[in-house]
């Protein structure tokens, strides 16, 4: 197959981890006789520096023309420390999500048998944890009206959802649950928020269309607690944008390192595949960042964007093998020898090709 992939490395450790995923994709392409065509584009702080815009039109055109986007990370402390900055790298990410219509962010929580001892949670609690959070990505407080009053001593951020926005993501979550263990947890704060009550209303209309799926409603505070206390109780979870942002960071530590977690964002136009971690500026340029989250995002890319399941599986198998052989970066090596970002990428690419 001909696969056209836009490459948006972004900021911080983005370029280093994306380079490893590219190595692995190229190895997959060679093994399975695909032609990969990479097209690089700017996003984030690096795009602001070059063009003044964190998601330039040219980048958007490249993404629209591609079959899939592989994305690294964005963010730069320079902007975090300047609350008055009017243009921020994160706006590039939000603009990309909105303009590509990426309303569903799929974040699996994976547990790796050889890393169980790295988790802050007890082995018996997490051994069989295997759930996916489906986060709404183009609505809610991230995109609502925000502002200050004239004296600037009052601020607001508005949460808004339409029934249509809720319906499409809840339907997608039910369809996803049908492919898995057929349990859907709908997370909200319906005891307080009107938007959450609309989520429930819409969800209750959709639930009867999927009679085989067991539906559960859970308040977000209780969900936060249960992720730690009893993660095995979840299969598919669906929630609004901000709750999903918070719960997926929480869920990512179950595996022992946030650096391991991939994600796929899908919707109206080209899908985007990216690790859930940020730009980790303290590690940028040091060749120490964990590339596995991005490499596993590339696995999701083969599976979701091209329906190439064997290609996705070989990447996952190679990652598992690297963990079993302790070919890991410093965030998970503990007292044992650690490998650089590039060495881990090389090892996994080599396994794909020869393993
Ligand atoms: C994420 C990140 C982003 C978000 C930031 C960088 C804007 O935390 O993808 O989870 O909040 O969505
Ligand atoms: Mg986040």
Any idea where the domains of the chain sit in the sequence? 1-101+270-355, 120-255
| Catalytic (active site) residue 245 | yes
Mean pLDDT score across all residues of the chain: 96
Please state which CATH number belongs to domain 1-101+270-355.
3.40.718.10
Better-scored residue on pLDDT, 245 or 255:
245
For the CA atoms of 336, 342, 346, 347, what is the dihedral angle to 10 degrees?
A: 10
Q: Is the CB of 343 under 6 A from ligand 1?
A: no
**DSSP letters spanning 142-159:** GTS-EEE-TTSS-EEE--
User: pLDDT band for position 355 (50/70/90)?
Assistant: confident
Percentage of the chain beyond pLDDT 90 is 93
List own/partner pairs for 76-83 with CB under 8 A and 24 or more apart.
76/11, 76/12, 76/44, 76/45, 76/279, 76/281, 77/281, 78/45, 79/45
Q: What is the mean pLDDT of the segment spanning 101-109? A: 97
Residue 173 to residue 209: CA distance in whole angstroms: 12
Q: Is the CB of 90 under 6 A from ligand 1?
A: yes
Task: Supply angle C-alpha 342, 345, 351, rounded to 5.
Answer: 140
Please check the confidence at residue 83 and state whether its pLDDT lies above 80: no
Please check the confidence at residue 351 and state whether its pLDDT lies above 90: yes
45 CA distance to ligand 1 centroid (A)? 15
Atom of ligand 1 nearest to the CA of 245: 10
Q: What is the mean pLDDT of the segment spanning 29-49? A: 97
pLDDT tens-digit map of 159-175: 999 999 999 999 999 99
Options 82, 145, 221, 310, the catalytic residue? 221
What is the predicted pLDDT for the residue at 168?
98
Answer whether 1-101+270-355 and 120-255 agree in fold: yes
Please check the confidence at residue 277 and state whether its pLDDT lies above 80: yes
- Side-chain half-sphere exposure of 331, counting CA atoms within 13 A: 20
Q: What is the mean pLDDT of the segment spanning 115-137? A: 94
Extended beta strands in 11-157, E state = 35-40, 68-73, 104-109, 131-136, 146-148, 155-157
DSSP three-state, residue 302:
helix
Hey, whose CA ends up nearest to atom 4 of ligand 1?
Answer: 245
Please check the confidence at residue 272 and state whether its pLDDT lies above 80: yes
Q: Is the CB of 76 under 6 A from ligand 1?
A: no
Percentage of the chain beyond pLDDT 70 is 100
User: pLDDT band for position 299 (50/70/90)?
Assistant: very high
Q: Is the CB of 245 under 6 A from ligand 1?
A: yes
What is the predicted pLDDT for the residue at 82?
81
Hey, whose CA ends up nearest to atom 6 of ligand 1?
Answer: 90
What is the predicted pLDDT for the residue at 11?
97
16, 44, 159, 203, 240 from 90: Cα distances, Å: 19, 7, 19, 30, 19
Cβ-contact 184, 213 below 8 angstroms: yes
What DSSP element (H or E) covers 239?
strand 236-239
- Side-chain half-sphere exposure of 72, counting CA atoms within 13 A: 33
Q: Is the CB of 93 under 6 A from ligand 1?
A: yes
Better-scored residue on pLDDT, 255 or 302:
302
Q: What is the mean pLDDT of the segment spanning 253-265? A: 90
What is the predicted pLDDT for the residue at 84?
80
Q: Which of 291, 317, 318, 313 is nearest to 302 (CA)?
A: 313
Hey, whose CA ends up nearest to atom 8 of ligand 1?
Answer: 245
| Catalytic (active site) residue 142 | yes
Residue 254 to residue 116: CA distance in whole angstroms: 9
- Side-chain half-sphere exposure of 61, counting CA atoms within 13 A: 3
Atom of ligand 1 nearest to the CA of 74: 6
Of 122-126, 180-184, 191-195, the poorest mean pLDDT is in 122-126
pTM of the model: 0.95
User: pLDDT band for position 255 (50/70/90)?
Assistant: confident
User: pLDDT band for position 114 (50/70/90)?
Assistant: confident
- Which CATH code, of 3.30.70.890, 3.90.1170.50, 3.40.718.10, 3.30.870.10, is assigned to 120-255? 3.40.718.10
Please check the confidence at residue 61 and state whether its pLDDT lies above 90: yes
pLDDT tens-digit map of 66-82: 999 999 999 999 998 88
Residue 233 to residue 195: CA distance in whole angstroms: 26
What is the predicted pLDDT for the residue at 334?
83
């Amino acid at each position: 197959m001909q696969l056209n992939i836009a490459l948006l490395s972004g900021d911080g450790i983005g370029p280093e981890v994306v380079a490893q995923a590219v190595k692995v994709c190229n190895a997959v392409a060679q093994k399975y006789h695909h032609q990969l065509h990479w097209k690089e584009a700017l996003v984030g702080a690096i795009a602001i520096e070059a063009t003044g815009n964190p998601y330039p039109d040219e980048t958007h055109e490249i993404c629209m023309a591609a079959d899939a986007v592989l994305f690294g990370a964005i963010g730069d402390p320079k902007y975090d420390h300047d609350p008055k900055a009017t243009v921020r790298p994160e706006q590039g990410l939000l603009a990309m999500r909105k303009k590509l219509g990426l309303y569903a962010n799929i974040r699996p929580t994976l547990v790796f048998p050889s890393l169980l001892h790295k988790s802050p949670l007890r082995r018996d609690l997490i051994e069989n944890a295997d759930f996916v959070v489906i986060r709404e990505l183009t609505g809610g407080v991230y995109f609502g009206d925000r502002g200050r009053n004239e004296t600037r001593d009052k601020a607001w951020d508005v949460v808004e959802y339409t029934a249509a926005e809720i319906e499409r993501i809840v339907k997608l979550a039910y369809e996803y649950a049908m492919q898995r263990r057929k349990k859907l947890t709908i997370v909200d704060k319906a005891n307080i928020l009107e938007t959450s009550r609309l989520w429930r209303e819409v969800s209750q209309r959709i639930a009867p269309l999927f009679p085989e799926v067991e539906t559960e409603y859970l308040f977000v505070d209780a969900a936060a607690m249960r992720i730690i206390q009893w993660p095995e109780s979840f299969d598919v979870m669906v929630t609004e944008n901000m709750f999903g942002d918070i719960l997926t960071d929480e869920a990512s530590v179950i595996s022992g390192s946030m650096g391991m977690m991939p994600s796929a964002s899908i919707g109206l136009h080209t899908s985007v595949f990216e690790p859930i971690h940020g730009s980790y500026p303290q590690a940028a340029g040091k060749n120490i960042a964990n590339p596995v989250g991005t490499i596993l995002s590339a696995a999701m890319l083969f599976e979701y964007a091209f329906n190439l399941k064997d290609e996705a599986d070989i990447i996952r198998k190679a990652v598992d093998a690297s963990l079993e052989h302790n070919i890991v970066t410093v965030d998970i090596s503990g007292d044992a020898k650690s490998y650089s970002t590039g060495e881990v990428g090389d090892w996994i690419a080599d396994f794909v090709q020869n393993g």
